[in-house]
Amino acid sequence: MFPSKQTADALVQAANDAEVKGRSLWRDAAIRFRRNRAAVVALCVLGLIAAFALFGQLFAQWSNEEIDWSIMGAIAQKGAPSIANGHYFGADELGRDLYARVVQGTGISIMVGMVGSFVAVMVGTLYGAVAGYSGGRTDNIMMRIVDILMSIPFMFVLILLLVIFGRSITMLFVGIGLISWLDMARIARGQTLSIKNKEFVEAAVATGVSPMRIILRHIVPNLLGIVVVYATLLIPGLIMTESFISFLGLGIQEPQTSLGALISAGAKQMRFGVIWQLLFPLGFFLVTLYAFFFVGDGLRDALDPKDR
């Protein structure tokens, strides 16, 4: 028995009413992320720090290389932070404006983290996906290589690299890029192993799509969630690595600077009563790290299906 036209119309009407606008998984994640107050605040803080690094120079009264001769030699007495003489954060031991230096250092530190993280995403994801998808002997050899590279004390090798090829920012990027992709490769491989048995991959194989195309079109997009999370959590780690090396004086060289180099300079000078030289870079360093950690944690809660 067919329903009468009236009933059918009512049914269609009801179905239309009940239909909720579809939400993609990314949209779902965005909503979850927005509900996490700490992560949202951290994201705003990160935005402010990025704005500070990008545009802070516009508000500086001094450039980062200019030396204020009027206070040089009497930094402890005259170099303290003040609005009046234009040194908002004070001056360093050479009479350079610390505000301008912190702007510069924050920018470089964040850049190092981003570049390293970018390399990790590009190389590590692809490497892990290829290893995981190939399986068998290829997988075994590729992951053994990662194991071997991981067990090398990279901080020491990185310093060795910097000493041998000269301490340049390019070399630092190369060195950090060399380390950063290893973890990502492992994570991507693990995730690929579970994705590759899904039906949609089977369907792609059945329709004759080439393996490389399957990896790029079907595997990698599905890795993105976890990749984004770990890329975010990687940035503070890389900032720490760079700061570690710059603290030793082996990383970023003058006149360029990074937060690690500034902290190092501040730590050396603090016994002369110029505590601001330590506190401002340190403050920016810690706030940046915390912000990245919280954003990463928030992203993990939002994107990682395991912890729901």
Partner 1 sequence: MLSYIVRRLAIAIPTILILIVLSFILMFAAPGGPFNSERPLPPQVLANIQAKYGLDQPYWKQIVNYVWNVVAHFDFGPSFKYKDRSVNDIIAQGFPVTLTYGFWSFIVATVVGITLGVVAAIRHNTWLDYFAVGISIGAQSLPNFVMAPILVLVFTLYLGWLPGGGWNGGQIEYLVLPVIALSTSYFASIARIMRSSMLEVLNAGFIRTARAKGLPMSRVIIRHALKPALLPLLSYLGPAFVGMITGSVIIDVYFSTGGIGQFFVNSAFNRDYSVMMGITILVGVLTILFNLVVDLLYAWIDPKIRY
Q: Which residues of the shown chain bind partner 1 in the complex (CB under 8 A)?
A: 144, 147-148, 151-153, 155-157, 159-166, 236, 240, 243-244, 247-250, 260, 263-264, 266-267, 270-271, 275, 278, 282, 285-286, 289-290, 293
Of 13 and 138, which CB lies nearer to partner 1 in the complex structure?
Answer: 138
Q: Nearest approach, Cβ of 290 to partner 1 (angstroms)?
A: 6
Q: Nearest approach, Cβ of 245 to partner 1 (angstroms)?
A: 10
d(CA 76, CA 98): 13
Q: Nearest approach, Cβ of 233 to partner 1 (angstroms)?
A: 12
Q: Nearest approach, Cβ of 187 to partner 1 (angstroms)?
A: 15
Q: Nearest approach, Cβ of 254 to partner 1 (angstroms)?
A: 15
Ordered DSSP codes for the chain: -PPPHHHHHHHHHHHHHHPPPP--HHHHHHHHHHH-HHHHHHHHHHHHHHHHHHHGGGG-SS-SS-B-TTTTT-HHHH-S--STTS-TT-B-TTSBBHHHHHHHHHHHHHHHHHHHHHHIIIIIHHHHHHHHHH-HHHHHHHHHHHHHHHTS-HHHHHHHHHHHS-S-HHHHHHHHHHHHHHHHHHHHHHHHHHHTTSHHHHHHHHTT--HHHHIIIIIHHHHHHHHHHHHHHHHHHHHHHHHHHHHTTSSS-TTS--HHHHHHHHHHHGGGT-THHHHHHHHHHHHHHHHHHHHHHHHHHHH-GGG-
169 and 252 Cβ atoms separated by less than 8 Å: yes
d(CA 140, CA 208): 25
CA angle 298, 302, 305 (to 5 degrees): 130
Q: Nearest approach, Cβ of 90 to partner 1 (angstroms)?
A: 16
Of 177 and 266, which CB lies nearer to partner 1 in the complex structure?
Answer: 266
Tokens (6 digits) for 294: 């919280």
Q: Nearest approach, Cβ of 18 to partner 1 (angstroms)?
A: 39
Of 224 and 240, which CB lies nearer to partner 1 in the complex structure?
Answer: 240
Of 68 and 183, which CB lies nearer to partner 1 in the complex structure?
Answer: 183
Q: Nearest approach, Cβ of 112 to partner 1 (angstroms)?
A: 15
Of 138 and 210, which CB lies nearer to partner 1 in the complex structure?
Answer: 138
Of 84 and 148, which CB lies nearer to partner 1 in the complex structure?
Answer: 148
Of 162 and 303, which CB lies nearer to partner 1 in the complex structure?
Answer: 162
Of 53 and 162, which CB lies nearer to partner 1 in the complex structure?
Answer: 162
